[in-house]
Amino acid sequence: MQYPLDVSDAEDARQTRRDMLAQLDDYILPRLDQLDAPLLAVVGGSTGAGKSTLVNSLVRRKVSDAGVLRPTTRSPVLVHHPDDVGWFDELRILPDLPRVAIHDQAGGALRLVADDGLPAGVAILDAPDVDSVVTENRTLAAQLLAAADLWLFVTTAARYSDAVPWDFLRAAADRQTAVAVVLDRVAPDAVSEVRTHLAAMLTQHGLSDAPLLVVEETAPDDSGLLPEEAVASVRGWLDGLAADESARNEIVRRTLDGAISGALRQVPKLADAADRQVEVLARLQAEIKHVYGKAAKRIDDTSADGSMLRGEVLARWQDFVGTGDFMRSLEAKVGRLRDKVTAFLRGRPQPVAAVEEAIEHGLATMIVEEANRAAEKADGKWRDSAAGRALLAGDDLTRTASDLPERSARAVREWQDAVLAMVRSEGADKRFNARLLSFGVNGLGLSLMIVVFASTGGVTGAEVGVAGGTAVVGQKLLEAFFGDEAVRRLAARARADLSQRVEELLRTEAVRFTDRLGGLSVEVGAGDALRAALVTVEQAREDHG
C-alpha cells in the first residue's frame, strides 16, 4: 500500500512507509541475516563539530577530508579493517549507495577505506552534517544513522545544547539505539563543568547510559591529525569494543531490537491509514456510480413516461399515421383492423425516415443533456474532497466527452435497427404475408418504439388526447398483427435493449473519472493484513525471547 489518495493522514503514512522500508533494507534485514557482521559506528553531528578530524585522528591518517566545504560532504566514508571488507558490499547494508574507492564529487556513493589502523570487528562511518544547509546531506545523514549499530555522536563545548543534534538524540533514545557521545574541543579548564552539564542533559533525554567521551581542545599537527593522547578515550573505547565480543553483541542486540520495535510501533498507524485509503476509494467510486446511475434512471424514466411523444417526434408520428381517417379506422372492430391497416399502408406515402430522425435526435439530445448533468455533478462531488481534487488535478470534467453526441446518435440508430429486427423476426415466426410484412415492417417498428415511449403512462392532462392517443395507435396496430401478449413482450425487450445501450454510453462517460482510480495501489484488506503480520512478528519475537 503506497497511500496514493490525498486524505488527511496520507503524507504522514507515506513518509512512515518510506522510513520503515529504508530501515528494513538498510539495517534490520541485513543485520538479522548477519548478526556476526562487524559493528558499524556512524559518526554524526553538527557542522564544524570535528567529525572528520576525529575519524582521521583515530585511524592516524587522512581518510576523510575535513572542513566545511570538503568534497566528501555527500560521499560518506566508511573505514574498516582490511579483514572486514566482505561485510560492507552493496548486498548487505545501504544497498542503494554504490561503493567507490575514491572521492565522489557528485555524491550519492559510499566510499570504502580499508585500514589496519582500526581493529577488526568495528567499522566507523563519517556521515554528512545533520544540520547541513543542503537538504540531500541532511537526508543522507539521517539514513546513515538509521543504518548504524552505534551512534558516535560528536558535539562541541560551544554547541552541545543546539536543538538539531538533540532532535536526533531524542529519536535515538526513543528507538533504543546505542549511542556514545564525543564532547570535542573542550578547553581543559572547562571539561568538568561542560561534562557535568552534558551528562545531565543526556540523563534528562533518556540517554544516561550513553558513554560520554571527551576530546580536549588541542591543535592538530601538519597532517591535520590530533595528538594520540587527545583521542585516547575514544580510541580506547573502540578498542575495548573490538576486543569484547559480548559487548558488541549487546550493542547490536539492543539497537536491532529497538529498530524492530520502532518499526512495529508504526504498523497500527499504517494499517489505519490503509483502511482510510480503502474507505475514500470506495466513496469516490460510489459517488460516480450513484451520479451516473441516477442519470441512467432519469433517461430510462423519460424515455418511457410519454415525454418523448412531444414536439418533433409527435409531429412526425402524426404525419406518418394521420390524425383523421386512420384514427377513426381504429374505432372499427379489431378483427377487421389488419385489412384496413393494409389498405392504408398501400394507399399513402410513409414518411418513415422523418419519424426515425426525430426519434434519433430527441433521444440522443436527452442522453447528452443527462450525461452533461451527471458530469457536472460528479466533478463537483470529487472536488469537495482533497483526494478527488488531486485526482482531477487541472482537468475540467464538467462536460461530456466531445464525441458523445455522435456516439449517442449512433447508439440510437443501432437501437432502432434492433427494434426493426425484432419486428421482422416476430413477423417471420407468425408467417405473415411476406409482401405485407416487407411493406409494413418499418411502420410496425416505429409503432413499437412509440409504445416503448409511453410504457409507463406518464402523459397527462390535455396531452392524453394527443400524444397518448397516438401511442394507442401504435399499440392497436401492433396488437392487430401480433396479439397483445407478443406486443408486451416486444416492448419489454425493446425497452431493455435501449436501457442497456444508454448504460453503456454512460459507463464510457463515467470511465473518465473511474480510470483515475484504476491504477492506484489501494488494496482492500491491506490494513487487516498489516495487523495480522504485526501479530505474527510479535509472536515470533516472544517465542525467540
DSSP-based three-state secondary structure for 153: strand
C-alpha distances out from residue 393 to 383, 390, 404, 513, 516, Å: 9, 5, 23, 12, 11
Residue 336 has pLDDT above 60, yes or no: no
SS3 150: strand
pLDDT of residue 469: 53
Q: In the prediction, which pLDDT does 391 show?
A: 96
Contact 409, 365 (CB under 8 A): no
Is the pLDDT confidence value at 462 over 50?
no
Q: 101 pLDDT exceeds 90?
A: no
Instruction: Work out the average pLDDT over 187-210.
Output: 93
What is the per-residue pLDDT across 203-215, written as a single tens digit (0 to 9) for each? 999 999 999 999 9
Q: Order of strands across the sheet with 122-126? A: 99-100, 110-114, 77-80, 122-126, 39-45, 150-156, 178-186, 212-216
Bridge partners (DSSP) of residue 39 are: 122
Stronger pLDDT, 304 or 290, i.e. the higher one: 290
The C-alpha cell at 542 is 516472544
| 538 Cβ contact list (under 8 Å, min separation 6) | 264
Cα–Cα distance measured from residue 264 to residue 267, given in angstroms and rounded to the nearest whole number:
5
Residue 193 has pLDDT above 90, yes or no: yes
Domains of the chain: 10-243 (3.40.50.300), 272-518 (no CATH)
SS3 23: helix
Per the prediction, the chain carries an average pLDDT of: 85
pLDDT of residue 331: 44
Distance, in Å, from the CA atom of 449 to the CA atom of 493, rounded to the nearest integer, reads 11
Share of the chain above pLDDT 90, in %: 59
The highest-confidence range among 280-284, 359-363, 426-430, by mean pLDDT, is: 280-284
Mean pLDDT confidence for 293-298: 96
Sign, CA dihedral 57-63-64-66, equals positive
Q: Which pLDDT tens digit goes with each residue over 255-285?
A: 999 999 999 999 999 999 999 999 999 999 9
Helix or strand holding residue 355 (H, E) = helix 352-383
Question: What's the pLDDT score for residue 346?
Answer: 46
CB atoms inside a 10 Å sphere around CB 504 = 13
- In this structure, are residues 152 and 44 in contact, taking their beta carbons and an 8 Å threshold? yes
Which single residue is written with the C-alpha cell 580536549?
A: 216
Among the ranges given (103-117, 367-381, 406-420), the one the predictor scored with the smallest mean pLDDT: 103-117
**390 or 544: which leads in pLDDT:** 390
Rounded CA-CA distance 197/202 in Å is 9
The predicted structure's pLDDT at residue 545: 65
Percent of residues in the chain assigned helix, strand, coil, to nearest 5? 60, 10, 30
Q: How far is CA 448 from the centre of its chain?
A: 49
Q: What is the pLDDT of residues 61-92, one digit of tens each?
A: 998 887 655 444 557 899 999 999 888 877 67
Instruction: Pick 32 or 321 by higher pLDDT.
Output: 32
pLDDT at 134: 86
Nearest to 411 by CA among 538, 501, 510, 328: 501
Q: Does residue 231 register a pLDDT over 70? A: yes
Range with the poorest average pLDDT among 297-301, 326-330, 511-515: 326-330
The reported pLDDT for the residue numbered 328 is 43
Would you say 41 and 150 are in contact if contact means Cβ atoms under 8 Å apart? yes
Other CB atoms within a 10 A radius of the CB of residue 393 amount to 7
* Per-residue pLDDT at 329 exceeds 90: no
* 505 compared with 310, residue with greater pLDDT: 505
Nearest-10 Cα torsion for 325, 328, 330, 334: -110
pLDDT digits 0-9 by tens, 500-545: 999 999 999 999 999 999 889 999 999 999 999 999 999 999 887 6
> What local confidence, expressed as pLDDT, does residue 431 receive?
56
pTM (predicted TM-score):
0.79
CA distances from 339 to 2, 334, 431, 474 (A): 73, 10, 16, 16
Phi/psi of residue 45, nearest 5 degrees:
155, -175
- Euclidean distance between the first and the last CA atom of the chain, given in angstroms as a whole number: 30
Which of 268-277, 287-296, 341-350, 422-431 is predicted least confidently?
Answer: 341-350
CA geometry: angle 80, 83, 87, nearest 5 deg: 65
Q: Once rounded to an integer, what is the mean pLDDT over residues 489-502?
A: 94
